[in-house]
Amino acid sequence: MDIRKVKKLIEMLENSNLEEIEIQEGEESVRLVKSHGNLQNITPQSIVIPQENKQEIITEETQSNEETKEDSNSINSPMVGTFYASASPGAKPFVSVGDIVAEGDVVCIVEAMKMMNEIKSEFSGKVLSINVENAEPVEYGQSLFELSK
């Protein structure tokens, strides 16, 4: 749903006597509730949970390939969401460290707003590192994988 539409809905709700409005367009939906004159968007997709700072885990392979990292390609997350290494719980991961991937191969899934988005490799090469744990939240532009050039 277009953010301009959501903003327009907020304005319309503020200027009306309605207490609540819910709009659904295909798979996407927005629910707005007026609370003491303030609007709260209470859809599950918009809940932001602060993360604790996590220390990076550096494997022996990453340490030994520190120089190689400069000669690597990074696959970054194209959106904010949740990283999944496999198509379903208990299934084999799409890729593992040491695997060879070709440009266009699916390397993971990022769930955003209840949509499962396949992330495809933009490069061909060997997987040097996987920088995210399964089911971990990811940010836009965050490095997911390092591939050799």
pTM: 0.54
- DSSP class of residue 89 equals T
- Out of 44-48, 57-61, 80-84, the most confident range is 80-84
Half-sphere exposure of residue 129, counting CA atoms within 13 Å on the CB side? Answer: 23
Name the amino acid, one letter, at 38.
Answer: N
On the question of pLDDT at 111 being above 60, the answer is yes
- Tell me the pLDDT tens digit for each residue of 17-37: 777 777 777 777 777 777 654
Closest CA to 119 of 97, 98, 93: 93
| Token representation of residue 42 | 């209470």
| Token representation of residue 75 | 């696959």
Angle at 94 between CA 89 and CA 98, to 5 degrees: 130
Closest CA to 113 of 51, 41, 11: 41
